Structure 1
């Protein structure tokens, strides 16, 4: 059994500009096929528009509101919304109110699998 506590994880900036704290990934657990992190985006800011060639992502909004754009389609998002971001889909999230959300990636998140325009 492997248990990690979010409070024990140090935040870092991802290649797209969001701040994340890894909950479970290969850096802190014997994880092979996915990663789970808490992400934050301050009010009035956005992640850089990007895509992942390999990773499919789920976002689950815990706090705040914003706009999610996937392949040029936008939708307002807020607490309780679960978002599927297919591998290869261009995406960006913009915070109207500070956002806090869970991000699950399979295969695990990697800076090397983050691409920009």
Structure 2
């Protein structure tokens, strides 16, 4: 496949949760790199992945990440790693939009197990 420049304007888009957006910047059987946008006050369901290791990197805004019942505040220019099997939940508790880059290896779609509160 020839090299190409990719952005949210040209990447495959999907929606999730409550008005959240995702763009597949890299989508292969080995790895996914996704840019996500979370409006203020949104969150995902607590879950874990059986195989996927993930890295969440904040591009803009402030991410609250709950990992194994411990909360972490991740700011622009910072990231947090989630190991396979670790329960986690991404939240935007701020009043500003949140933009994050999520790398999953192997891809996390189809590898997710939602957890009850």
Q: What is the TM-score normalised by the length of structure 2?
A: 0.85
Say if 1:69 and 1:91, in contact at 8 Å, map to a contact too.
yes
Provide the residue aligned with 1:20 in structure 2: 22
State how far apart, in whole Å, the 2-side matches of 1:75 and 1:62 are.
16
- Structure 2 distance, partners of 1:76, 1:50, is 18
Q: After TM superposition, where is structure 1 displaced by more than 3 Å over at least 4 residues in a row?
A: none
Contact 2:12–2:25 (8 Å) recurs in 1: no
State the Cα distance separating 1:13 from its structure 2 match: 2.5
1:20-63 CA distances to partner (integer Å, 9 max, x unpaired)?
1000113xxxxx31110101111111111111111000011000
CA distance in 1: counterparts of 2:33 and 2:5, whole angstroms: 11
Count the aligned residue pairs: 109
Query: Superposed, which structure 2 residues align to 1:1-117 within 5 Å?
Result: 1-6=2-7, 7-14=9-16, 17=17, 18-26=20-28, 32-95=29-92, 96=94, 97-110=96-109, 112-117=110-115
TM-score (norm. length: structure 1): 0.85
Q: Answer 1 or 2: which has greater strand percent.
A: 2
CA displacement, residues 53-100 of structure 1 (integer Å, 9 cap, x when unaligned) = 110000110001131111101011110111101111111111113210
Report the RMSD for the aligned CA atoms in angstroms.
1.5
Unaligned runs of 5+ in 2: none
